[in-house]
Amino acid sequence: MSNPASHRPHSAARASSHRKIVLTSFNDFGLAEPILRALAEEKYVTPTPIQSQTIPFAASGRDVIGIAQTGTGKTAAFALPILNRLLANRVRPEKKSCRVLVLSPTRELSGQIADSFTAYGRHIRPLKVSLAIGGVPINRQIRDMAHGAEVLVATPGRLLDLVQQRAVRLDKVEILVLDEADRMLDMGFIHDIKKVVAMLPRDRQTLFFSATMPQEIVQLSNSMLRDPAKVSVTPQATTAEKVDQRVILTEKPAKAALLAELLKSETIDRAIVFTRTKHGADKVVRVLAQAGLRAEAIHGNKSQNNRERTLKAFRDGSLRTLIATDIAARGIDVDGISHVFNYDLPNVPESYVHRIGRTARAGANGIAISFCDHEENAYLRDIERLIRMQIPSTNRRTGNRGTQQARPQGQSNGHNNGHNNGQHRQNRPHGHKKHQHNGRNNRGHSGNGPRPVSNGPRPIAATQPAQQAQPAAAKVSGGIENVTFLGQPRRSAGPGAPR
């Protein structure tokens, strides 16, 4: 089918590269009518920033490297221009081949990406979107790919299995999407990705997305992309400004009872509890069960069916508490999460921002409560440096390792007044929720100086003299009445003690 507007993306791409025109409507992209119709049905009115930036370049056939995390609308940012290109050049996919290959790190994310292609492409017929993920029998996927597909969404391991069994061939791929490249790296997929890329035609379009850009990712992207357009949206760290955050300094053995205590609060609608390990996740499920609280864990050791069942229950509200590891939770798209608990603090500070971002979706505010035992002090410091604020804390440590003051005297433990004052509750498009505050230079570990934050928490003044502690006691908003956050730590053993 020809697309009457097929030339417009080129000019839009040029306009965008000059940064003179901000595209504020999907109609501006020159997308074909069946796609626009689907978007209208999805009730997408305004493109998110990653969409405004990416779609013109991708629709014009250019390689793109995008720095964006899940939740910013990046799936549509690549899916819409891809569908437009498929429509502009309608040829049947060859047997066992796909025209578009999307690589994603997890089964959940892959499933969601495939669903998005199907939804945005619902008026494009025929359009076959296939899924190749581990954890489910391979035979159905072999049969499914026998006649080829326009779009194949795959996790790298299963894709290579299919290639090895000669059920899939990759020499006809026209467009490659690599999603969540940094997570792929974390999960050890780098060699699989390189193997896959080596099998693809050199003459292809590549769209490459990553939430962070460590050196290995830069190298990987250099080896895969040709003269890419670079796009990025607000760094993850600004997500933190929308979430009401608290730290409870505690002892490791006391965490389970503390969690049970907090979860008994009726004001929790839907909570995700993050643990560092799969084993840890299962243990939390068990101890909560002993306290009479139902929770389910989701992680890589669970079968695909089990994970899907658990997620469905969490989505429909029949399961209130989900215990997850970082990897399992990545890409889960569930709105209405009122609370995120960090049972263990992550050792990678960016993961903290990903985690708490789960609760600030769809323009909502949320509450993130982190438990920090003695061994996690350094993680907390790294996190606070990344997000450039000190998280209000309360001290529940018993002092077994020498009674400690929660924070050096004078550094804010106080409640963040003036924050979460309702202004984020506006009903704005889902994809807009994470990038209200622009500029991506507030990430990373360099630069300790305070950064002005418009309506958010006070920045850390690492090089400044101690600030006045806030005197008022403040309860965690959202009704967890039994945990009081004090301006001064509860158990104080004198100023200056390390946390």
Which range binds ligand AMP by CB under 6 A, 2-10, 43-51, 206-214, 303-311? 43-51
Residue 44 binds ligand AMP, judged by CB under 6 A: yes
Q: Of the candidates 16, 53, 54, 72, which one interacts with ligand AMP according to CB under 6 A?
A: 72
Pairing of strands 205-210, 64-67: parallel
Q: Of the candidates 9, 235, 346, 431, which one interacts with ligand AMP according to CB under 6 A?
A: 431
Q: Could you write out the three-class secondary structure of 255-315?
A: HHHHHHHHHCCCCCCCEEEECCCHHHHHHHHHHHHHCCCCCEEECCCCCHHHHHHHHHHHH
Residue 47 binds ligand AMP, judged by CB under 6 A: yes
Applying the rule CB under 6 A, the residues between 134 and 163 that interact with ligand AMP are none
Indicate the residue among 40 and 91 with the shorter CB distance to ligand AMP: 40
Indicate the residue among 93 and 357 with the shorter CB distance to ligand AMP: 357
Pairwise CA distance, residues 165 & 146, whole Å:
12
Shortest distance in whole angstroms from residue 238 CB to ligand AMP: 15
Helices (H), strands (E): how many in the chain? 16, 16
How many residues are recorded in the chain?
499
Pairing of strands 474-476, 480-485: antiparallel
Pairwise CA distance, residues 379 & 347, whole Å:
6
List 292's β-bridge partners, or say none. none
Torsion of CA 293, 298, 302, 305, to 10 degrees: 90
Shortest distance in whole angstroms from residue 487 CB to ligand AMP: 37
Pairwise CA distance, residues 450 & 465, whole Å:
12
Residue 53 binds ligand AMP, judged by CB under 6 A: no
DSSP letters of 306-358? HHHHHHHHHHHTS--EEEE-HHHHTT---S---EEEESS--SSHHHHHHHHHT
Indicate the residue among 194 and 312 with the shorter CB distance to ligand AMP: 312
Shortest distance in whole angstroms from residue 153 CB to ligand AMP: 13
Residue 70 binds ligand AMP, judged by CB under 6 A: yes
- CA 113, 114, 115, 119 dihedral sign is positive
Indicate the residue among 427 and 446 with the shorter CB distance to ligand AMP: 427
Q: Of the candidates 3, 13, 16, 48, which one interacts with ligand AMP according to CB under 6 A?
A: 48
Which range binds ligand AMP by CB under 6 A, 71-79, 447-455, 470-478, 489-497? 71-79
Indicate the residue among 333 and 382 with the shorter CB distance to ligand AMP: 333
Pairwise CA distance, residues 34 & 120, whole Å:
9
Dihedral pair phi/psi, residue 269, rounded to 5°? -80, -50
Indicate the residue among 52 and 275 with the shorter CB distance to ligand AMP: 52
Shortest distance in whole angstroms from residue 434 CB to ligand AMP: 9
Applying the rule CB under 6 A, the residues between 310 and 369 that interact with ligand AMP are 333
Residue 75 binds ligand AMP, judged by CB under 6 A: yes
Residue 384 binds ligand AMP, judged by CB under 6 A: no
Indicate the residue among 73 and 459 with the shorter CB distance to ligand AMP: 73
Q: Of the candidates 34, 49, 66, 73, which one interacts with ligand AMP according to CB under 6 A?
A: 73
Which range binds ligand AMP by CB under 6 A, 65-73, 130-138, 204-212, 482-490? 65-73
Indicate the residue among 381 and 432 with the shorter CB distance to ligand AMP: 432
Pairwise CA distance, residues 496 & 311, whole Å:
45
The two tokens of residue 29 are 């992209």
Pairwise CA distance, residues 273 & 284, whole Å:
9
Residue 430 binds ligand AMP, judged by CB under 6 A: yes
Contacts with ligand AMP by CB under 6 A lie at 44, 46-48, 51, 70-76, 333, 429-431
